[in-house]
Amino acid sequence: MATIDHVGLCTSDFRASTELFTRSFELLGYTGDVYEGTGFLEWNDFAIGPVEPDRPATRNLHVGFAATSHEQIDNWWRELTDAGYRDDGAPGRRPEYSAGYYGAFIRDPDGNSIEAVMHENSDPATGVIDHLWVRVRDLGATRRFYEAVAPAVGMRVGERPARLAVIADTGTISFVEGPPTENLHLAFGVADRETVGAFHVAGLEAGGVDNGAPGERPVYHEGYFGAYVRDPEGNNIEAVFHDR
Protein backbone atom coordinates (compact mmCIF):
# COMPACT_ATOMS: atom_id res chain seq x y z
CA MET A 1 0.00 0.00 0.00
CA ALA A 2 1.12 3.57 -0.64
CA THR A 3 2.08 6.06 2.04
CA ILE A 4 1.45 9.72 2.62
CA ASP A 5 4.92 10.64 1.41
CA HIS A 6 4.62 14.34 2.08
CA VAL A 7 2.13 17.16 2.43
CA GLY A 8 3.14 20.67 1.42
CA LEU A 9 1.63 23.96 2.59
CA CYS A 10 2.34 27.41 1.13
CA THR A 11 2.39 30.00 3.90
CA SER A 12 1.70 33.72 3.67
CA ASP A 13 4.10 34.38 6.58
CA PHE A 14 6.91 31.85 6.28
CA ARG A 15 8.76 33.08 9.36
CA ALA A 16 5.68 32.90 11.58
CA SER A 17 4.77 29.44 10.27
CA THR A 18 8.34 28.24 10.77
CA GLU A 19 8.20 29.36 14.40
CA LEU A 20 4.85 27.64 14.96
CA PHE A 21 5.69 24.28 13.40
CA THR A 22 9.19 24.17 14.86
CA ARG A 23 7.74 24.61 18.34
CA SER A 24 4.80 22.28 17.61
CA PHE A 25 7.09 19.40 16.65
CA GLU A 26 9.36 20.05 19.63
CA LEU A 27 6.36 19.71 21.92
CA LEU A 28 5.33 16.49 20.14
CA GLY A 29 8.77 15.00 20.67
CA TYR A 30 9.95 14.98 17.06
CA THR A 31 13.57 13.80 17.01
CA GLY A 32 14.16 13.51 13.26
CA ASP A 33 16.09 15.86 11.05
CA VAL A 34 14.57 19.05 9.69
CA TYR A 35 15.38 19.18 5.99
CA GLU A 36 15.95 22.65 4.58
CA GLY A 37 15.50 22.73 0.82
CA THR A 38 15.46 25.62 -1.60
CA GLY A 39 12.78 27.80 -0.03
CA PHE A 40 11.09 25.15 2.12
CA LEU A 41 11.39 23.24 5.39
CA GLU A 42 10.40 19.60 5.84
CA TRP A 43 9.79 17.52 8.94
CA ASN A 44 9.60 13.93 7.68
CA ASP A 45 6.27 13.92 5.76
CA PHE A 46 5.21 17.56 6.38
CA ALA A 47 6.63 20.60 4.58
CA ILE A 48 6.04 24.35 4.43
CA GLY A 49 7.22 26.98 1.99
CA PRO A 50 6.53 30.66 1.30
CA VAL A 51 3.89 31.80 -1.15
CA GLU A 52 5.02 32.53 -4.67
CA PRO A 53 3.25 34.23 -7.60
CA ASP A 54 2.03 30.85 -8.88
CA ARG A 55 1.60 29.29 -5.42
CA PRO A 56 -0.88 31.10 -3.17
CA ALA A 57 -1.31 30.30 0.51
CA THR A 58 -2.84 26.98 1.55
CA ARG A 59 -6.13 27.54 3.36
CA ASN A 60 -9.06 25.58 4.85
CA LEU A 61 -6.96 22.48 5.53
CA HIS A 62 -7.09 20.33 8.65
CA VAL A 63 -3.99 18.33 9.54
CA GLY A 64 -3.65 16.07 12.57
CA PHE A 65 -0.21 15.27 13.98
CA ALA A 66 0.35 12.06 15.94
CA ALA A 67 1.01 12.40 19.68
CA THR A 68 2.11 9.80 22.22
CA SER A 69 0.04 10.67 25.32
CA HIS A 70 -2.84 12.76 26.61
CA GLU A 71 -0.37 14.73 28.71
CA GLN A 72 1.69 15.58 25.64
CA ILE A 73 -1.44 16.83 23.86
CA ASP A 74 -2.50 18.88 26.90
CA ASN A 75 0.93 20.51 27.11
CA TRP A 76 1.07 21.11 23.33
CA TRP A 77 -2.25 22.97 23.38
CA ARG A 78 -1.48 24.92 26.56
CA GLU A 79 1.94 26.13 25.41
CA LEU A 80 0.76 27.13 21.93
CA THR A 81 -2.37 28.95 23.09
CA ASP A 82 -0.32 30.68 25.81
CA ALA A 83 2.04 31.81 23.04
CA GLY A 84 -0.89 33.50 21.26
CA TYR A 85 -1.99 30.92 18.70
CA ARG A 86 -5.75 30.80 18.24
CA ASP A 87 -7.57 28.08 20.14
CA ASP A 88 -9.66 25.81 17.90
CA GLY A 89 -10.67 23.18 20.48
CA ALA A 90 -9.42 22.38 23.97
CA PRO A 91 -7.90 18.97 24.78
CA GLY A 92 -10.44 16.23 25.29
CA ARG A 93 -11.98 13.01 24.09
CA ARG A 94 -13.84 13.01 20.77
CA PRO A 95 -15.74 9.69 20.73
CA GLU A 96 -17.72 10.86 17.69
CA TYR A 97 -14.52 10.28 15.65
CA SER A 98 -13.51 6.90 17.10
CA ALA A 99 -13.08 5.02 20.36
CA GLY A 100 -10.16 6.33 22.37
CA TYR A 101 -9.82 9.50 20.25
CA TYR A 102 -8.19 12.36 22.18
CA GLY A 103 -7.16 15.63 20.54
CA ALA A 104 -6.62 19.36 20.79
CA PHE A 105 -6.74 22.03 18.08
CA ILE A 106 -5.25 25.42 17.20
CA ARG A 107 -5.19 27.59 14.06
CA ASP A 108 -1.99 28.34 12.14
CA PRO A 109 -1.22 31.87 10.80
CA ASP A 110 -3.23 31.16 7.62
CA GLY A 111 -6.25 29.83 9.52
CA ASN A 112 -5.64 26.13 8.87
CA SER A 113 -6.76 23.79 11.65
CA ILE A 114 -3.82 22.05 13.34
CA GLU A 115 -4.37 19.16 15.74
CA ALA A 116 -2.35 17.00 18.11
CA VAL A 117 -4.11 13.64 18.32
CA MET A 118 -3.91 10.19 19.85
CA HIS A 119 -6.25 7.25 19.14
CA GLU A 120 -6.15 3.48 18.91
CA ASN A 121 -4.58 3.48 15.41
CA SER A 122 -2.25 6.47 15.68
CA ASP A 123 1.45 5.70 15.32
CA PRO A 124 4.02 8.53 15.36
CA ALA A 125 6.63 6.06 14.08
CA THR A 126 5.02 6.09 10.61
CA GLY A 127 5.41 9.86 10.19
CA VAL A 128 4.32 13.08 11.84
CA ILE A 129 0.98 13.19 9.95
CA ASP A 130 -1.87 11.14 11.40
CA HIS A 131 -4.66 12.39 9.12
CA LEU A 132 -5.87 15.14 6.81
CA TRP A 133 -9.33 16.61 6.29
CA VAL A 134 -9.77 18.27 2.90
CA ARG A 135 -12.92 20.27 2.12
CA VAL A 136 -14.27 20.28 -1.43
CA ARG A 137 -17.00 21.93 -3.48
CA ASP A 138 -18.11 18.78 -5.30
CA LEU A 139 -17.80 15.53 -3.37
CA GLY A 140 -19.11 13.55 -6.35
CA ALA A 141 -16.29 14.68 -8.67
CA THR A 142 -13.76 14.19 -5.88
CA ARG A 143 -15.07 10.67 -5.26
CA ARG A 144 -14.75 9.72 -8.93
CA PHE A 145 -11.16 11.00 -9.03
CA TYR A 146 -9.91 9.30 -5.86
CA GLU A 147 -11.80 6.06 -6.51
CA ALA A 148 -9.65 5.82 -9.65
CA VAL A 149 -6.37 7.10 -8.22
CA ALA A 150 -6.39 5.25 -4.88
CA PRO A 151 -6.34 1.68 -6.25
CA ALA A 152 -3.76 2.70 -8.86
CA VAL A 153 -1.30 3.46 -6.05
CA GLY A 154 -2.45 0.71 -3.69
CA MET A 155 -4.65 2.70 -1.30
CA ARG A 156 -8.11 1.80 -0.06
CA VAL A 157 -11.24 3.94 -0.29
CA GLY A 158 -13.70 3.92 2.59
CA GLU A 159 -17.24 5.30 2.42
CA ARG A 160 -18.56 7.05 5.49
CA PRO A 161 -21.62 9.28 5.94
CA ALA A 162 -21.15 12.46 3.89
CA ARG A 163 -17.43 11.89 3.37
CA LEU A 164 -14.87 9.91 1.43
CA ALA A 165 -11.84 8.41 3.19
CA VAL A 166 -8.64 7.43 1.39
CA ILE A 167 -6.61 5.09 3.56
CA ALA A 168 -2.83 4.81 3.28
CA ASP A 169 -0.29 2.81 5.25
CA THR A 170 0.62 5.90 7.23
CA GLY A 171 -2.67 7.74 7.75
CA THR A 172 -5.95 8.80 6.22
CA ILE A 173 -7.22 11.61 4.02
CA SER A 174 -10.90 12.47 4.41
CA PHE A 175 -12.82 14.57 1.88
CA VAL A 176 -15.98 16.44 2.90
CA GLU A 177 -18.03 19.20 1.30
CA GLY A 178 -17.50 22.71 2.65
CA PRO A 179 -15.46 25.88 2.11
CA PRO A 180 -12.83 24.34 -0.16
CA THR A 181 -9.27 23.60 0.81
CA GLU A 182 -7.02 25.65 -1.44
CA ASN A 183 -3.49 25.18 -2.78
CA LEU A 184 -2.66 21.87 -1.12
CA HIS A 185 0.20 19.65 -2.29
CA LEU A 186 -0.31 15.98 -1.42
CA ALA A 187 2.18 13.30 -2.46
CA PHE A 188 1.67 9.54 -2.30
CA GLY A 189 4.78 7.41 -1.88
CA VAL A 190 4.77 4.32 -4.12
CA ALA A 191 7.01 1.31 -4.67
CA ASP A 192 8.16 1.71 -8.28
CA ARG A 193 8.14 3.83 -11.42
CA GLU A 194 5.39 1.80 -13.03
CA THR A 195 3.00 2.78 -10.24
CA VAL A 196 3.86 6.44 -10.76
CA GLY A 197 2.85 6.03 -14.40
CA ALA A 198 -0.37 4.19 -13.49
CA PHE A 199 -1.29 7.01 -11.10
CA HIS A 200 -0.82 9.61 -13.82
CA VAL A 201 -2.96 7.71 -16.34
CA ALA A 202 -5.72 7.01 -13.78
CA GLY A 203 -5.81 10.63 -12.63
CA LEU A 204 -6.17 12.01 -16.15
CA GLU A 205 -8.83 9.47 -17.10
CA ALA A 206 -10.80 10.40 -13.97
CA GLY A 207 -10.95 14.10 -14.83
CA GLY A 208 -7.70 15.39 -13.38
CA VAL A 209 -5.49 17.92 -15.14
CA ASP A 210 -1.90 17.10 -16.05
CA ASN A 211 0.57 19.04 -13.91
CA GLY A 212 3.73 17.10 -14.74
CA ALA A 213 4.28 13.85 -16.63
CA PRO A 214 6.11 10.90 -15.04
CA GLY A 215 9.84 11.57 -14.92
CA GLU A 216 12.89 12.18 -12.80
CA ARG A 217 13.13 15.34 -10.72
CA PRO A 218 16.82 15.47 -9.70
CA VAL A 219 16.27 18.95 -8.28
CA TYR A 220 14.87 17.11 -5.23
CA HIS A 221 17.37 14.24 -5.14
CA GLU A 222 18.98 11.77 -7.50
CA GLY A 223 16.44 9.10 -8.43
CA TYR A 224 13.35 11.14 -7.48
CA PHE A 225 10.69 9.92 -9.93
CA GLY A 226 7.29 11.58 -9.78
CA ALA A 227 4.15 12.61 -11.65
CA TYR A 228 1.60 15.31 -10.87
CA VAL A 229 -2.12 15.71 -11.51
CA ARG A 230 -4.46 18.45 -10.34
CA ASP A 231 -7.55 16.97 -8.73
CA PRO A 232 -11.06 18.36 -9.46
CA GLU A 233 -10.53 21.03 -6.78
CA GLY A 234 -7.21 22.16 -8.28
CA ASN A 235 -4.97 20.70 -5.58
CA ASN A 236 -1.60 19.35 -6.73
CA ILE A 237 -1.56 15.56 -6.23
CA GLU A 238 1.63 13.58 -6.78
CA ALA A 239 2.84 9.99 -6.85
CA VAL A 240 6.55 9.63 -6.13
CA PHE A 241 9.07 6.81 -6.09
CA HIS A 242 12.32 7.56 -4.27
CA ASP A 243 14.69 5.44 -6.36
CA ARG A 244 17.77 5.83 -4.19
| Residue 241: its H or E element | strand 236-242
Say what the pLDDT of residue 161 is: 75
Q: Are 81 and 87 in contact (CB under 8 A)?
A: yes
CATH number reported for the structural domain that contains residue 28 in this entry: 3.10.180.10
Counted domains in the chain: 1
**SS3 for 154-213, per residue?**
CCEEEEECCEEEEEECCEEEEEEECCCCECEEEEEECCCHHHHHHHHHHHHHCCCEEEEE
Say what the pLDDT of residue 1 is: 74
pLDDT at position 125 over 80: no
Residue 124 sits in which domain range? Answer: 3-242
Cα 185 to chain centroid, rounded: 8
Q: Can you tell me whether residue 48 is helix, strand or coil?
A: strand
Q: Enumerate the H helices of 154-239 as residue ranges.
A: 193-205
For 3-31, write each residue's pLDDT tens digit: 999 999 999 999 999 999 999 999 999 99
The answer to which of 121-125, 202-206, 218-222, 232-236 has the lowest mean pLDDT is: 121-125
